[in-house]
Chains A and B, each alone.
Chain A
């Protein structure tokens, strides 16, 4: 009954979760693509800057990063809405992991491909765009889907900066109705549905890749 009564809240929160995940994923992919290309760069400075970024992000919890952005930035005079704060934190966080995914994907493309395209007279960008990245992309799709599952689950931390996603919706419902079972279990089931579909998709892709 309570679930039915608060259905609009959950529906709104579900789409908010999807929205913030999708926007962050797109930005994180851009960051990861650039980061991955920089990580394999022969330029030592570019390589070390990206390495520092990746190690710094991977070695600190998302919650700490979120606190830094949400409570630290206003002190510098920059104030964002919860949505933008969430997108910034999630983009920086997932971007670091996607950087590593992209790097390993590019490195998994055989060296012969690079040599062949260079000996055909292609420049670096043509080679990356037409030869290396299309092949790397096929390799990285399954881990990328896996990372998007992680990202969706990470959006739950946005509840602490008052962005109304599924966890926050559950908190609101619980606060209004004193029914923790209905509130939290409904949210958990919605997350589970979302992630389960993506996890099956990732497994399907992996299986198809192994066959090929």
Chain B
């Protein structure tokens, strides 16, 4: 088969894989942001146990490769009575992995807000929760959006690793196609790379645009 035939044959399958990749990215991305915000606030908490706990969480997840985390969740947790299917293990691990990085981003964002803002909010009689919700977080969001988008790009790319425990996402479909057809694998992997590029590159452009716009504002 020539390049065009191979492409015509494989692209419909790859598009389906792309859908799975998008689904994985979307769900774990939303969960990761939620975990990251909780973790980031936890790292600055006044309560010692919460602070230590979130600090250990961030260190452990940032200090080990995602693949090892995935293997631990998928192969080790069943020995302790927690059995997850591929989808749960993949999305959960990715969410906690990215959540650790996002925690650091959120923590840095909160630390970048001047102390006076906290003091002013508290002296106005706000509760700590109101202070976070009404004063601190709206400012933090603006600071953290560029690094957050950068982290979400890494998350999209990391979904490819989940294929190693058996999810049929974009890269796994490409791998199976390459094995099954026995034809030039360069073409199929080339298409896989292009598909990832199509998702990630616009996100990069988006993050750079936002960064520039925020810079102009200040």
Task: Determine whether B171 belongs to the interface, using a CB cutoff of 8 Å to chain A.
Answer: yes
Q: B residues bordering A, Cβ < 8 Å?
A: 59-60, 62-69, 71-72, 75-76, 79, 153, 157-161, 163-164, 171, 174-175, 178, 184-186, 189-190, 192-193, 196-197, 199-201, 204
From A61, A153, A159, B64 is in contact (CB under 8 Å) with A153
Q: Is the CB of A64 within 8 A of B193?
A: yes
From A61, A159, A166, B157 is in contact (CB under 8 Å) with A61
Complex interface: chain A residues within 8 A of B192 (CB): 64, 67
Distance, CA A67 to CA B178, complexed state (A): 10
Q: Is the CB of A63 within 8 A of B161?
A: yes
Q: Is the CB of B196 within 8 A of A59?
A: yes
The contact sample of 27 A-B pairs, CB cut-off 8 A, is A58-B204, A60-B157, A61-B158, A61-B159, A61-B171, A63-B163, A64-B160, A67-B185, A68-B190, A72-B190, A154-B65, A156-B65, A156-B67, A157-B67, A160-B164, A167-B67, A170-B68, A170-B71, A180-B76, A184-B72, A184-B76, A188-B68, A188-B69, A188-B72, A191-B64, A192-B59, A199-B63
Residue of B63, B153, B164, B200 with highest tally of chain A CB at under 10 A: B63
Q: Considering only CB atoms, which chain A residue lies closest to B60 in the complex?
A: A192
Complex interface: chain A residues within 8 A of B164 (CB): 63, 160
Distance, CA A76 to CA B186, complexed state (A): 9
Q: Is the CB of A192 within 8 A of B63?
A: yes
Q: Is the CB of B64 within 8 A of A62?
A: no
Fill in one digit per residue for A151-174: 1 if any B CB lies within 8 Å of its CB, else 0.
Answer: 001111101100000110010001
Complex interface: chain B residues within 8 A of A75 (CB): 184-186
Closest-CB distance, B112 to chain A (whole angstroms): 14
Distance, CA A174 to CA B5, complexed state (A): 42
Given the interface contacts A71-B189, A75-B186, does A64 sit within 8 Å of B196 by beta carbon?
Answer: yes
Q: Is the CB of A67 within 8 A of B157?
A: no
Q: Is the CB of A195 within 8 A of B189?
A: no
Task: Determine whether A116 belongs to the interface, using a CB cutoff of 8 Å to chain B.
Answer: no
Distance, CA A61 to CA B25, complexed state (A): 13
Task: Determine whether A65 belongs to the interface, using a CB cutoff of 8 Å to chain B.
Answer: yes
Q: Considering only CB atoms, which chain A residue lies closest to B198 in the complex?
A: A59
Task: Determine whether A108 belongs to the interface, using a CB cutoff of 8 Å to chain B.
Answer: no
From B64, B175, B190, A195 is in contact (CB under 8 Å) with B64
Given the interface contacts A55-B201, A56-B197, A61-B160, does A71 sit within 8 Å of B185 by beta carbon?
Answer: yes
Distance, CA A65 to CA B197, complexed state (A): 12
Q: Considering only CB atoms, which chain A residue lies closest to B170 in the complex?
A: A64
Residue of B64, B65, B72, B186 with highest tally of chain A CB at under 10 A: B65
Distance, CA A155 to CA B67, complexed state (A): 10
> 13 new A-B pairs (CB below 8 Å) besides A72-B190, A75-B186, A154-B65?
A56-B197, A60-B193, A60-B196, A61-B196, A64-B193, A67-B174, A71-B189, A167-B65, A167-B68, A180-B76, A191-B64, A191-B65, A195-B62
